[in-house]
Amino acid sequence: MSGAEIRLKPTAGPHAKVLPAATVPPHNAEAEQAVLGCVFLFVHRGEFEPATELITKLRAEDFYLEPHRLIYRAMRALHDSGKQPDLISTTDLMRDCGDLDKIYPGDLERAGAVYVTQLLDSTFSAATWPQHLKIVKRDAVKRHLADLGGTLLYGSRNGTDAEALVALSRRMLDEVESDSFSSSPLREAEKKKNRATANELLAAPSETARPWWPFLQREGVLGPGVVVLCSGYAKSGKTTTMTLALDATLRAHPDLRVVWCTEEPRSLWRTRLLRWHLHWPTVTFAFLGGMPWSAVIADISAGDQAPGLIVVDTARAFMQVEDENDAGQWLAAIRPLLSLARQRNVGVLLLHRLRQSGGGDGVRHAGSHGLVAAVDVALELRRDPQALTRRVIRALSRFPETPQAWVFELRDDGAIALLGDPAQVTRADLLTRLEGVLDDVPRTGAEVIAELDEPKPSTGTVYAGLKELHRQARAGRSGRGTRGDPYRFWKKQEFENTSSSSTPVRVEEKKLL
């Protein structure tokens, strides 16, 4: 294949807006073809380990030409699903996704399948892939710098302060020097820093207990260096709940510096601060505007001191994720927050939404599952159908301290009262309802059910609750429980004046300080 035949016309992409129209962004079509062809070559030879190494060193963003990105994405999808990205499987997947027709559309002589097949001829030897990869990575670095430079130019022309611009410049250098953009080995010092043998881990001193903030729980939810995702349905009270939880945290840690990125208007926040008498001298609000996400992060992390906690409300609005089902977009957007959490011990709270279709544990959060996998703690927030002021949280966490589920109540004074495990709260609610029906007249279980308001529990649940009241000596019982002599229950006189509380019985309320 001649050089004229293998060069593709660059497609319009995100790089075109950074450089002048007459300037073609740096790229090498032949090198891009060579590394893709080398993957096919390795697989067809049965050399799966070097094929995996090459695939994992690359990213879709490393390719300038759109056809090459499409081919790489198909290869990577096959690889991630446990399949080998051979020529036939790759073209078949691209055909199913409609990507094959995007290569030379309308040109039958150079149709997509033909072009992908010809990639095998684009590499002369499998031994040359490291130098071809280096060329591809080199040009990707230049294009990346051009994009970041455009962001720097935008910020300088739109009022971003000099400190934030300097931080953005440092980020440019950090990303260029990172392993994401380089195929060369890490320096020996960096290797040692990021590696440890099992014996070294055993010989190391034990880590002290992780510090936790009193955020929704005494421990196990949010703290320094922890990334939390909290999702709920619209109008489920996510922001209100997080506001009250943050207030409890700030009262316990008054020096904690917080940046809250919010899509809500200034007037709403002013009303909220006045309503609950919130005194937050260490909290800064970043309101949603036209600034790119990279510039927002650079502004937040500017200077030597990053905030102790970053709240992003909502994640999709600020991170500018166009396709929330694309794991790559989420991971690219969340990467700087993960870096702040791991390297600078910053707590991160992302507010998101639950998918309407529901799902199993961990998949109710809207969008890609990669977002849940990237965070440390994923919370699902719902209203309690039994009480308007209650909320139920279910959690997935990498920390053993995190409870799996709990119920809390939002009080009028702005406090959060923990009520306990949902099953315990539901049981306490049932006993309270049954006690409200009983009086000094003996009733059968069926008669008790008839007097209960909707939603009515099942017959078995009601009988179990009545037996529990009898066991606790809160209800009397007569009869043998047979067809002709059923059990009958009534309220014991000594409990008549002590069971009128509207709060769940025997559920400890722990007010967060």
CB 379 within 8 A of CB 221: yes
Instruction: Identify the three-state secondary structure at position 93.
Output: helix
SS (H, E, C) 142-205: HHHHHHHHHHHHHHHHCCCCHHHHHHHHHHHHHHHHCHHHCCCCCCHHHHHHCCCCHHHHHHCC
Question: What DSSP assignment string belongs to 41-90?
Answer: HHHHHT-HHHHHHHHHH--GGG--SHHHHHHHHHHHHHHHTT----HHHH
Amino acid found at 47: E
Packing angle, helices 129-157 and 48-57, rounded to 10? 20
| Distance in angstroms (rounded) separating the CA atoms of residues 95 and 114 | 12
pLDDT at 163: 73
In this structure, is the dihedral angle defined by the CA atoms of residues 61, 64, 67 and 71, taken in order, positive or negative? negative
Cross-strand bridge partners of residue 394: 380, 405
pLDDT at 350: 95
Query: For residue 21, what are the CA distances in angstroms to 16, 143, 146, 153?
Result: 7, 14, 13, 17
Q: What pTM did the predictor assign?
A: 0.53
CB 85 within 8 A of CB 28: no
| Distance in angstroms (rounded) separating the CA atoms of residues 17 and 15 | 6
Where helices occur in 276-326 by DSSP H, the ranges are 293-300, 315-319
Amino acid found at 290: G
Pairing of strands 416-420, 405-410: antiparallel
| Distance in angstroms (rounded) separating the CA atoms of residues 449 and 438 | 11
Which of 412, 431, 419, 161 shows the shortest CA–CA distance to 302? 161
Query: For residue 76, what are the CA distances in angstroms to 82, 330, 486?
Result: 10, 17, 67
CB 265 within 8 A of CB 285: no
Pairing of strands 309-313, 347-353: parallel
Which of 418, 386, 388, 387 shows the shortest CA–CA distance to 405? 418
- Average pLDDT for runs of 10 along the chain of length 513: 39 42 78 92 87 88 90 90 89 87 63 82 76 89 82 78 74 61 45 70 73 92 95 86 93 94 93 91 90 83 80 90 82 87 91 75 72 91 81 91 88 77 75 86 89 77 85 89 88 56 40 39
pLDDT at 285: 94
Instruction: Identify the three-state secondary structure at position 339.
Output: helix
Residue with tokens 């931080």: 167
| Distance in angstroms (rounded) separating the CA atoms of residues 400 and 390 | 25
Find the radius of gyration of the CA atoms of the chain: 30
Question: What DSSP assignment string belongs to 327-371?
Answer: HHHHHHHHHHHHHHHHHH--EEEEEEEB-TT--STT--BSS-HHH
pLDDT at 178: 57
Amino acid found at 104: Y
| Distance in angstroms (rounded) separating the CA atoms of residues 273 and 350 | 21
For residue 390, give both structure tokens.
């209650």
Residue 312 CB coordination number (10 Å):
27
Residue ranges and CATH numbers for the domains of the chain are 3-138 (1.10.860.10), 227-283+306-316+328-418 (3.40.50.300), 424-495 (1.10.10.10)
